[in-house]
Amino acid sequence: MSGRRLLPQILTYLAVLVLVVVTLAPLVWLFIMSISSTKDLTTLPLPWLPSHEDFSRYARLLTLAAHSTGEEFIYALRNSLTASLSATAIALVVGIPAAYSFSRFPGRIGLLYAVLATYMMPPVALILPLYLVFSALHLLNSVGALTIVYCTILLPFVTWLLKANFDAVPVEIEQAARIDGAGLFGVIRHVTLPVAKAGLGTAALFAVLLAWDEFFYALLYTNDIRAKTLPVAIADFAAGRATDYALISAAGILTALPPVLIAFFLQKSLIAGLAAGGVKG
């Protein structure tokens, strides 16, 4: 009997180990590349460890010297933070009442499907219309244009995810609050959102990640450091004749660090938020 129990545990731990290795191996190799010399990166076969550690690329990326690689990276970091956080905030402000409405009034579910249909549309279908609108409004090459575009991506996703979490909130709790004199927005603020806070955190995290990693629109609607985001800036580092792979790797590590840290500290809320809509009651 103990042997039957031991085998599933061993298989489970092996599966977790494989998952961890597969997930972390690219990041580990990226870090090794970022501290390797050009000679190490151009030697065949590639060495597993650098002959000597070189952290100069990180120093180059974290400087604000005029017309430097660091200036472009720091400005791109600022633009990514501004666009992703602003779009996430707007998506939550609009998505919370929309999700609550779809959750408590099922007759409007058709409208939710229509909203999700816009989320499923390929980005290439919206390039020209958005470009013409932004050009007419003089918003091209601005963080504001990216924020608007990201809202069109995040709002349907946030609404759908929050709707699933609001479905799991017992209606009786809200009815008790209404009997005590709470208004609609009071019920949402003081009852529904605290109960569904795990789902709210999950929606916010995924929204930030979606905007943070977006490349297609940022590439088309920006052309200098005033609005370029990190994915576009990293792509520009690889556009020269002599590509510095260690610099690109260092930029990748610094770009991945904020989302990884956020996901690490919010992992419990993330799991609870994703599972909240699975069982109602």
Locate the domains of the chain by residue range.
1-54, 66-276
Residue 228 is predicted with a pLDDT of 92
Please, are residues 40 and 47 in contact by the beta-carbon 8 Å criterion? yes
Ranges of residues in the chain whose predicted pLDDT is under 50: 1, 277-281
Residues 6 or more apart in contact with residue 219 via CB below 8 angstroms: 231, 232, 235
What is the value of pTM for the model shown?
0.82
Q: What does 223-263 look like in DSSP terms, one character per residue?
A: -STTT--HHHHHHHHTSSSS--HHHHHHHHHHHHHHHHHHH
Residue 223 is predicted with a pLDDT of 87
Residue 73 is predicted with a pLDDT of 92
Residue 106 is predicted with a pLDDT of 75
Whether omega for the bond prior to residue 45 falls within 30 degrees of 0, making it cis, is yes
Label residue 275 exposed, middle or buried (CB < 10 Å: 0-12, 13-18, 19+): middle
The token pair at 231 is 């994915």
The token pair at 102 is 């779809």
pLDDT in tens, 122-153: 888 888 888 999 999 999 899 999 999 999 88
Other Cβ atoms less than 10 A from the Cβ of 72: the count is 19
Residue 81 is predicted with a pLDDT of 92
The token pair at 1 is 């009997």
The token pair at 238 is 């690889």
Residue 261 is predicted with a pLDDT of 80
**Looking at the chain, how many residues does it have?**
281
The token pair at 178 is 């209404």
Residue 165 is predicted with a pLDDT of 86
Please, are residues 281 and 171 in contact by the beta-carbon 8 Å criterion? no
The token pair at 8 is 């599933």
Pick the CATH number of 66-276 from 1.10.3720.10, 1.10.10.10, 1.10.260.40, 2.40.50.140: 1.10.3720.10
Other Cβ atoms less than 10 A from the Cβ of 155: the count is 22
Q: Could you identify the residue written with the tokens 């990640």?
A: 209
Backbone angle region of 71, left / alpha / beta, with phi > 0 → left and psi within -120 to 50 → alpha: alpha
